[in-house]
Every structure is written in structure tokens, then in C-alpha cells.
Amino acid sequence: DVKVTQSSRYLVKRTGEKVFLECVQDMDHENMFWYRQDPGLGLRLIYFSYDVKMKEKGDIPEGYSVSREKKERFSLILESASTNQTSMYLCASSSNPRISGNTIYFGEGSWLTVV
Amino acid sequence: DAKTTQPNSMESNEEEPVHLPCNHSTISGTDYIHWYRQLPSQGPEYVIHGLTSNVNNRMASLAIAEDRKSSTLILHRATLRDAAVYYCILRGLTGNTPLVFGKGTRLSVIA
């Protein structure tokens, strides 16, 4: 089975802290994604990556950055955490998105609280 | 990606079939229809997808209208574990667009 593993399930951080959310997939997928999910707003795309060292902005990239140094790992970075970044963060991966039949696999989510 | 429309919520009795509708009147000829579901406190999981023909797998069936402007996800016997938010998503054949999620249908299953 495909596995997308997010390093932390629950985190509490202070305002202004730098926060790293790590994601690892074990299926040699080219593509990885970071979403956040908030009540009433659904899933919103933050950043995605189609290859090592490549990144593309999603719908809400402000306040976030990403790093993809290795194919299997995609990190989301909150440079200076703020309370409005309290949310559930979801990492996902898939093989070539140009092949529309391909499935996207999600991790279990990381619940971040910024106090 | 074209837009989809789903009811906000539906309710079903346990062990009865459930038909979850999705309208996608602006679908293009190369759009695949994907269904995902999200159980409470978990990430979304793939359920099924199709292009033109009806599809079956161990989780569900997907019935696609002849004009492809609508589709129905069928759970043959709902269980309490099927209570989730179900998302219907169109995915084009070209371009690098990730999945775009709408609000989905919240399915409640009553024992």
C-alpha cells in the first residue's frame, strides 16, 4: 500500500516560531502537495511540487514556503507562525498528474495550533 | 478543472444502498470523474474514478450518465464506517493542476 507519512500528528507552537511540517512518501511519486483544511473552507492548496527542487504556488501560499531536496520528502515551512495558521495540514502525493487516472494519496494530517 | 455540484448532506440507514449524486454539466470530453472520501479526523482517501463507462471496485460503484453531465457514487450497503464527506472531482487530461476540492456531501449513516 502507498504510504504518505506526516511527521507530526499534533503540534502546538508559539506565535513567531518557525515551524517545519515534514512529509515522506514511499511510492517514488514525482508529485507532492500541501493543503490546509479549515471548517467551512474545505481543502485549499498551499504549494505543490512536480520534481525535486521544483515548487509551484497554490491558492494560498502567503506565509508559507516549501522544500523538496529529495524526491520522497516535501517539507512545509511556516517562517513565522501566526494564529491564523492554526489548521489541519494535509500532505499528498501522486505519480504524473498528466495521466488523469492517477490517484492522489493523502497523509493522515497534522493538526497545528499556534498560540 | 470544471466545477461539480453536490448536495451538502445526505442520510442513510445502515445496510441500505446509498446513491450520492454529482452534477458536472461543464465537463469536457477528457475530464475524468474522481471520487474521494474523508473520514473524521483523517486525510481524504481515493474511492473510485471513471471516464465514460460505469466502474466497480471493492469500495463502491460509479454510474456515469450517458451525456456525462452527472454521475452517482453507489455504496451498496452502507455501514457506520462509511460516514464521511464524499467529494466528486473532475480531473483534466492535460496540464499540471492538482486536485481541487469542493465542499462535498456529508453522509450520515444511522444504525
Residue B43 Cα, gap to closest chain A Cα (Å) = 5
Distances (CA, A) of B101 to A1, A51, A54, A92, B88: 24, 23, 23, 13, 8
Other CB atoms closer than 10 Å to residue B17's CB: what's the count? 12
Other CB atoms closer than 10 Å to residue B88's CB: what's the count? 26
pLDDT confidence tier of residue B54, bands split at 50, 70 and 90: very high
Chain A positions in Cβ-Cβ contact with residue B103 (cut-off 8 Å): 42
Interface probe, candidates A41, A74, A100, A106, chain B, greatest B C-beta count within 10 A: A100
What is the reported pLDDT for A97?
A: 55
d(CA B101, CA B43) in angstroms, rounded, equals 13
CB contact under 8 A, B43 and A33: no
Chain A positions in Cβ-Cβ contact with residue B44 (cut-off 8 Å): 43, 90, 106
What is the reported pLDDT for A61?
A: 97
d(CA B23, CA B6) in angstroms, rounded, equals 7
CB contact under 8 A, A100 and B104: no
> Is the model's pLDDT at B67 over the cut of 90?
yes
What is the reported pLDDT for A104?
A: 84
| Residues belonging to chain B | 111
Chain B positions in Cβ-Cβ contact with residue A31 (cut-off 8 Å): 98
pLDDT confidence tier of residue A95, bands split at 50, 70 and 90: confident
> In sequence order, which residues have a C-beta less than 8 Å from that of residue A84 and are 6 or more positions away?
none
What's the 3-state SS for B12-74?
Answer: EECCCCEEEEEECCCCCCCCEEEEEEECCCCCCEEEEEECCCCEECCCCEEEECCCCCEEEEE
At residue B80, φ and ψ (nearest 5 deg) are: -60, -30
- Among A48, A101, A105, select the one facing B49 at the smallest CB separation: A101
The model's pLDDT over A17-30, given as tens digits with 9 standing for 90+, comes to 999 999 999 988 88
What is the reported pLDDT for A2?
A: 67
